[in-house]
Amino acid sequence: EVQLVESGGGLVQPGRSLKLSCVASGFTFSNYGMNWIRQAPGKGLEWVAYISSGSSYIYYAETVKGRFTISRDNAKNTLYLQMTSLRSEDTALYYCARRSTTEDFDYWGQGVMVTVSS
């Protein structure tokens, strides 16, 4: 069974940093591209970042480019999102999701909440 479990969220002040993790199991993690997607409270879904299976290709949404860094450790089956210079508008539930062979997101974690507030 495919499982994605996020952690590392919490309450953080504007301008500070936070690092999210997503541990994968039930599939060969190193064979799949991975994504972070977020959902602000009561709002829709926003794709945040993508990393290819071997970390060769990395893409970011314009809203986080230069502030967020996606990375992965295939030996640990873990995806990361380093978030710096956090803003109130980054407050959201952050999901990690697997990229399927048809380029969409076929499995999602349960999400981890990040709240940016003073």
Partner 1 sequence: DIQMTQSPASLSASLEEIVTITCQASQDIGNWLAWYQQKPGKSPQLLIYGATSLADGVPSRFSGSRSGTQYSLKISRLQVEDIGIYYCLQAYSAPLTFGSGTKLEIK
What is the contact surface with partner 1 in residues (CB under 8 A)? 35, 44-47, 50, 59, 61-62, 95, 100, 102-106, 108-111
Query: 62 vs 66, which CB is nearer to partner 1?
Result: 62
Nearer CB in complex with partner 1: 49/86: 49
Cα separation of the two ends of the chain: 40
* Choice between 29 and 36, CB closer to partner 1: 36
Question: How many residues appear in the chain?
Answer: 118
Separation between Cα atoms, residue 21 and residue 15, nearest integer Å: 20
The distance of closest approach from Cβ of residue 118 to partner 1 in the complex, given in angstroms and rounded to an integer, is 28
Closest CB to partner 1 among 30 and 63? 63
- 72-96 burial, b at 16+ Cβ within 10 Å, e below that, comes to beeeebbbbbebeebeeebbbbbbb
In the complex, least distance from residue 30 CB atom to partner 1, rounded to whole angstroms: 22
Report, in Å, the least distance between residue 54 CB and partner 1.
17
The secondary structure of residue 41, as a DSSP letter, is: T
Instruction: Give the SS3 label for residue 53.
Output: coil
Distance CA 48, CA 58 (A): 11
**Beta carbon of residue 114, minimum distance to partner 1 (angstroms, whole number):** 16
